[in-house]
Amino acid sequence: MDPVALRTLATAVRVGTFEAAARELHVTPSAVSQRIKALETRVGRVLVHRTKPLEATDAGHVLVRLAAQTEMLEREAYAELVDDPDDDTDAGAPWTSVPLAVNSDAMFDWFVEALVSVRQRHRVTFDVLREDQSRTTERLRRGEVMAAITSDPRPVPGCKVERIGAMRYLAVATPAYVAEHLPDGPTPAALGRAPMVAFDRDDTLQHDFLRKVTRRHLAPPTTLIPSVHQFDHAVHRGLGWGMLMDSETREDLDAGRLVEIVPGRHVDVPLYWQRWRLESPVMVDLTAAVIEHARSWLER
């Protein structure tokens, strides 16, 4: 397929309009439209919905992924061609950009260390999108990222999947909070009234826990705190109960600063690394680094 047309399609889907794509590619909007039409004729499928913003069809997402894969391989090939063992600066080598989707807890704790180890070996930058682990596969499916941390073991078409472990979460609160809001224990009625903290509207972890222990769909008053550090702080300050990682709360539980609101109950979230089937040096090294750092941290 025409690589120029593929790049044009990917650009148009990313920026949302033919006009914006034309400005970025330094061509006319008509040229953008003609390239995409020619690509549609070539594959016999509609590739974009002509809405504002543009939306790729399922077939369009396949080719958006292909465009990104092609660009990455081109950059890596060029980097190898211009690499000079006697030149420590590698000034002529291009930088490869890798878009990734990662859940907040992984990014806060260990994921950056994996990126650092890869950056030491490659001229690479990362475009990290924060997304709940239950929703990152959609980013992969749409061709917006090349790899993701996900809780879904089912491979996205064109991707490989590897289990990297599980994160255990406990429902915790301060002793003062429990005395005020759950004086008679974690009954369904009390849990339905007790204030709760969630990360954002996509965070279902607390509600999943409530359904697990009560077998009911409860809707307690909820405060949204979209920051890992501030979420932890909110729970420690008694703003509400919330799900915190076992490894991060053990010291506070032992010291009595936090208590489990339902002792002995927890939620395990399995984690998988899904990536495109692209055997590039960057992706191979990134996969090895992610698995190494994830397993080392999760097994603590």
Class in CATH terms, 1-94: mainly alpha
* Distance between CA atoms of residues 63 and 67, nearest Å: 6
| CB distance 122 to 152 below 8 Å | no
Each residue's pLDDT tens digit, 119-165:
998 889 999 998 888 888 888 888 888 899 998 899 988 889 999 98
Cis ω on the peptide bond leading into residue 270 (within 30° of 0)?
A: no
Q: Is 165 left (phi over 0), alpha (psi -120 to 50) or beta?
A: left
pLDDT (0 to 100) of residue 110: 86
Its CATH class, for the domain covering 95-300, is alpha beta
117: amino acid identity, one letter: S
Residue count of the chain: 300
Please list, in sequence order, all residues whose beta carbon lies within 8 angstroms of the beta carbon of residue 77, skipping any fewer than 6 positions away. Answer: none
| Residue 135, pLDDT score | 85
| pLDDT tens digits, one per residue of 209-251 | 999 999 999 999 999 999 889 999 999 999 999 999 998 899 9
What is the per-residue pLDDT for 93?
A: 66
What does the block give as tokens for 290? 């992610």
pLDDT for position 17: 93
Crossing angle of helices 58-82 and 281-298, rounded to 10°: 100
Residue 82 has pLDDT above 80, yes or no: no
pLDDT per residue as tens digits for the range 25-46: 999 999 999 999 999 999 988 9
pTM, rounded to two decimals: 0.76
CA 293, CA 226: separation in Å to the nearest integer? 24
- Annotated domain spans of the chain: 1-94, 95-300
How far apart are the C-alpha atoms of 171 and 58, rounded to whole Å? 39
pLDDT of residue 97: 84
At residue 91, the pLDDT reads: 57
Can you tell me the distance from the alpha carbon of 18 to that of 51, in angstroms, rounded to the nearest whole number?
A: 10
Report d(CA 257, CA 262) in Å as an integer.
16
Separation of alpha carbons 270 and 178, rounded Å: 29
